Amino acid sequence: MKKDNSNKLCLETVSLITQYVEPAFAHQSCAEIYDRFNQEPDLLAIPVLKELQPIGLLIRMNFLIRLADRFGRPLYSKQPVTLLMDSNPMIIKNSMKLEALNKKLVTSNQSALQEGFIVVEGENYKGVGSASTLLQANMINAEMQLVKLREARAESEAASAAKSAFLANMSHELRTPLNAVIGFSDLILQHKHEYITCSSVHEYIGDINKSGHHLLGMINTILDMSRIESGKYELIENEEEPENVVDEAIRIVSTSASSKDIQITKCFHDCMDNLLIDIQLMRQVLINLLSNAVKFSPTGSNVFVSIEQNEFDEISFVVRDEGEGIPHGKIEEMLKPFSQLDGAFVRNHEGTGLGLPLVKAYVEAHDGRFKIENGVKEGLIATVFMPSNRTIFERHQVSSMNSG
């Protein structure tokens, strides 16, 4: 849901508390204005103009008192309004911030709160401001600030809770390979004076190596997310064939897929163009998506990956699985760094929980878009859209070479 900022923008400046009041002009008589004040009982003040520029303010109470006197009517009726106007009213530019106006009224001209003030654009009259309209704007602004403070507090608490949950999960994820490294190395050291077969030592070293690589991978994932969030990650871009990126990712994930008897199928496509991308990042994008698909899919199911190109020459990668999908309303939450879903959906699968946020960050680093959605009947569909300005038109080059 998009936030409506129109009220916020409106209430920042004096222009929104300005009410247009039909002005009086320097040549008009006091009798005309006396009749007008009587006809408009809610009118507190009337600005006096010379051409389009304000020269004074007729304040209702002061004006009526002068003319209510038994000598006042005959004395002032035919006189010009300039005789009874306040010739030094407060004049405010309509671009002034409300915060600045509040300070000005409190520190330099408190009487203007009761009497009103004139608002101008440039040098020309725009309207009149009053204490009631200013108070209303201040109350609305105060309510908006309170809402923003509550939202900021809620976001801060949610972020703190998410990071605490992430650290709690990571403590387990980091301890597991570390315990394996320490445990297997302890076994070797404890038996240093005993005969151990080469195959046993080789097995221990293999487990240590595997655990070390797992630990390094998790740490690299966290560091990558940190670099991207700080804006310090620079792309190393080259022309690449989309199909090669897909093939490499499938090859890397194939072992884990085989262990669950999951078939990864590359769908037919007619994309002949290449992409200008950072191959390391895009390869990792597809590895993460395929790994997620395998991880959350049942044994013996299928994972499909395809390359598509639309009429705008945007090339996209699509990964679809036959798993449970994501719980309703939780998709956006899964894309936030340090955010993890509750329940068995996550607890039954190991990992840092940064896979999808990293995919989103890597894709956006290419000015692309990342979309995930539940399938119509089952599974999850993850789509990576690359912008058309990253498409290198290989087919056009081929056709021009053939025509030559």
- DSSP SS3 for 305: strand
Q: Are residues 84 and 192 in the same domain?
A: no
Residue 376 lies in a domain: yes
Q: Are residues 308 and 194 in the same domain?
A: no
Instruction: Please say whether the beta carbons of 183 and 207 come within 8 A.
Output: no
Q: What is the average per-residue pLDDT within 250-266?
A: 91
DSSP string for residues in 306-370: EEEE-TT--EEEEEEE-S----TT-HHHHTSTT----SHHHHTS-S-S-HHHHHHHHHHHTT-EE
**210 token code pair:** 């595997």
**Domain limits at 75?**
6-129
**377 token code pair:** 């009947």
> Smallest Cα–Cα separation from 278: which of 367, 382, 353?
367
Residues 6+ apart with CB under 8 A from 277: 235, 237, 238, 240, 245, 366, 386, 390
Domain harbouring 189, CATH code: 1.10.287.130
> Smallest Cα–Cα separation from 227: which of 358, 333, 356, 368?
358
Q: Are residues 223 and 285 in the same domain?
A: no
**182 token code pair:** 């320490």
d(CA 88, CA 37) in angstroms, rounded, equals 21
Residue 22 confidence (pLDDT) above 90: yes
Residues 6+ apart with CB under 8 A from 329: none
- DSSP SS3 for 119: strand
**225 Rama sector, left if φ>0, alpha if ψ -120 to 50, beta otherwise:** alpha
Give me the pLDDT at residue 95, please: 86
Residue 273 confidence (pLDDT) above 50: yes
Point out the domain boundary residue: 229, 259, 291: 229
Q: Are residues 105 and 209 in the same domain?
A: no
Residue 150 lies in a domain: no
Lowest-pLDDT range of 21-30, 117-126, 371-380: 371-380
Q: What does the pLDDT look like over 348-402, one tens digit per residue?
A: 445 555 678 888 888 998 999 999 888 766 788 999 999 999 999 865 443 333 3
Q: Which residues pair with 92 in a beta bridge?
A: 119
Long-range CB contact pairs, 359-365, < 8 A, 24+: 359/285, 359/288, 359/289, 359/384, 360/335, 361/225, 361/228, 361/229, 362/228, 362/278, 362/281, 362/282, 362/284, 362/285, 363/285, 365/228, 365/233, 365/235, 365/278, 365/281
Q: Are residues 378 and 249 in the same domain?
A: yes
Q: What does the pLDDT look like over 154-201, one tens digit per residue?
A: 888 877 776 666 666 556 556 666 777 777 777 777 766 565 666 667
Q: Are residues 112 and 243 in the same domain?
A: no
Q: Are residues 118 and 184 in the same domain?
A: no
Q: Are residues 13 and 49 in the same domain?
A: yes
Residue 140 lies in a domain: no
Report how far apart, in Å, the C-alpha atoms of 265 and of each of 255, 283, 297, 319 are.
14, 17, 14, 10
Q: Is the pTM of this model over 0.75?
A: no
Domain harbouring 329, CATH code: 3.30.565.10
Residue 225 lies in a domain: yes
Q: Are residues 317 and 384 in the same domain?
A: yes
Give me the pLDDT at residue 168, please: 60
Give me the pLDDT at residue 214, please: 65
Q: Which residues pair with 320 in a beta bridge?
A: 304, 381
Q: What does the pLDDT look like over 237-256, one tens digit per residue?
A: 999 999 999 999 999 888 88
Point out the domain boundary residue: 203, 229, 255: 229
Q: Are residues 332 and 390 in the same domain?
A: yes
Q: Are residues 243 and 222 in the same domain?
A: no
Residue 404 lies in a domain: no
CB atoms within 10 A of CB 263: 12
- Count of the separate structural domains present in the chain: 3
Q: Are residues 378 and 259 in the same domain?
A: yes
